[in-house]
Amino acid sequence: MTTTETDAAVQEWLAANLPTWRLQKSYLLRVYKTRSWRVTLLVANAIGFLAEAADHHPELILNYPSVEVHLETHSAGGITVKDYELARKIEETILWLPATQAAPSGKWVERT
């Protein structure tokens, strides 16, 4: 059985590693503000690919200007290391830009 993290441990890990994510109820939450519906779909597909590779499946809520990600390990009943790993990979992938395009606001997704 996979061990779940306490709320305090989750808060501490997020503050140190992914401050743009937050603990919401029993899951990790991140909202990516996108520049268009097309970018929303691209972000959702990228997350879907990473989730399949990790054999871990977040809840995604898609809207015109955003993608909302909810991560928890349902089989364990809470947040586990698996959620941290996927959250970190999602963040790296969605916010990545080639060095020649690294603008503070980003080209596709707001960096907040």
Domain boundaries, the chain: 7-96
pTM across the whole model: 0.89
Strand partners, 67: 32, 62
CATH topology assigned to domain 7-96 = Gyrase A; domain 2 (3.30.1360)
Q: Show the tokens assigned to 103.
A: 């603008």
Calculate the average pLDDT of the chain.
92
Per-residue pLDDT tens over the stretch 19-74 = 999 999 999 999 999 999 999 999 999 999 999 999 999 999 999 999 999 999 99
Q: Give the span between the Cα atoms of 53 and 57, in whole angstroms.
A: 10
The pLDDT confidence band at residue 97, using thresholds 50, 70 and 90, is: confident
**Rounded average pLDDT over 8-14:** 98
**HEC per residue, the chain:** CCCCCCHHHHHHHHHHHCCCCEEECCEEEEEEEECCHHHHHHHHHHHHHHHHHHCCCCEEEEECCEEEEEECECCCCECCHHHHHHHHHHHHHHHCCCHHHCCCCCCCECCC
